[in-house]
Amino acid sequence: MSTLWQRDEPVDPWFEAFLAGEDRELDLQLVPHDCRASLVHARMLQDLGVLSTEELSAIAAILEEIREHAERGEFRIAPDEEDGHTAIENVLVARCGDAGKKIHTGRSRNDQVLTALRLWEKEQLAALLAALDAYVDALDTARARQGHVAMPGYTHMQAAMPTTVDVWLGSFAAAAADDRRYLELAQEAVDQCPLGTAAGFGVPVFALDRARTAAELGFARVQTNPLHAQLSRGRTEALLLSACGQAMQGLNRLAADLLLFSTREFHLVSLPEALCTGSSIMPQKRNADVL
């Protein structure tokens, strides 16, 4: 089977494999979101008269089936399909005929993948924020129990001034509060719907209701300028990764402190055995490998 863009001349297999990399494996994570965006797009196409009620009904049922298979890890993308979008469309065409081809009316793979990626990022950001909140709750619980306990404050790995567990753990909670704001900034950038921007210049031949599709997909707003929407690929991800990097710095500092403070030399922290490994020859060892 040829790719969507291929003409008469076959593509060198090595060249194709090099360019594709792990795209197919990674795209499997986007398939459920691609199905969701495709269904919303199909509903709008029905309102525009591109799809009939019967065609929409058939497409909706198949998209739901594909989504369920993908979430169970049962959906596959063939090497010659390159990505999840083509794999989904091939299933639709095989089972719905021309109606499966019509679903691509008014969109490009560019805005299709960007929309699926944004939906995935929104989902991941929600999970990250929930995990960060749980982390802060755990810190607050520990501070409430042992915050009054005195401990040395260290600078340059030397005992410098007296402090408390509350000040020590509170520093991580304060950092997490900043990290939350960074993630929320990334969330705001992600929460724009690019569907309808096509390859960067919109779809002037159709009166696409972009506000409707954005609302149905749960986006806060439409990403208005089509060219900027396509050129924002990578920018949003860089912002998201930067926010994650900030959060990881705080977690890394806590892990380093726990590793150091749990040694016999410092003996400030005792880690539960459930989080430690041991040694086959040194029974006294409690290795905090998880950190």
The predicted model gives 185-191 an average pLDDT of 98
Q: What is the pLDDT of residues 33-58, one digit of tens each?
A: 999 999 999 999 999 999 999 999 99
pLDDT for 20: 59
Q: What percentage of the chain exceeds 90 in pLDDT?
A: 80
Q: Which residue has the tokens 């290795």?
A: 287
Average pLDDT of the chain, as a whole number: 93
Q: What is the pLDDT of residues 136-160, one digit of tens each?
A: 999 999 999 999 999 999 999 999 9
DSSP state of 92: H
The answer to whether residues 165 and 151 touch, using CB atoms and an 8 Å cutoff, is yes
Question: Of the ranges 6-20, 69-83, 117-131, which is most confident?
Answer: 117-131
Query: 2, 52, 242, 279: which one is catalytic?
Result: 279
Band (pLDDT 50/70/90 cuts) for residue 6 is: low
Query: Distance of alpha carbon 262 from its chain centroid, rounded?
Result: 34
* Alpha helix positions (H), the chain: 13-20, 23-27, 31-47, 53-71, 84-96, 98-102, 109-146, 165-190, 210-216, 226-231, 235-261
- Whether 2 is a known active-site residue: answer no
193: enclosing H helix or E strand: strand 192-193
Band (pLDDT 50/70/90 cuts) for residue 223 is: very high
Distances (CA, A) of 44 to 74, 103, 192: 29, 10, 18
The β-bridge relationship of strands 221-222 and 192-193 is parallel
Q: Which structural domains are found in the chain, ordered by start?
A: 13-105 (1.10.275.10), 111-275 (1.20.200.10)
The predicted model gives 115-134 an average pLDDT of 98
Query: 38, 156, 262, 280: which one is catalytic?
Result: 156
pLDDT for 17: 66
Q: How many Å apart are CA 208 and CA 163, to the nearest integer? A: 61
- Whether 41 is a known active-site residue: answer no
Q: How many Å apart are CA 176 and CA 229, to the nearest integer? A: 30
Judged against a pLDDT cut of 90, whether residue 221 lies above it is answered with: yes
Judged against a pLDDT cut of 90, whether residue 12 lies above it is answered with: no
Task: Take residue 214 and report the two structure tokens written for it.
Answer: 């954005």
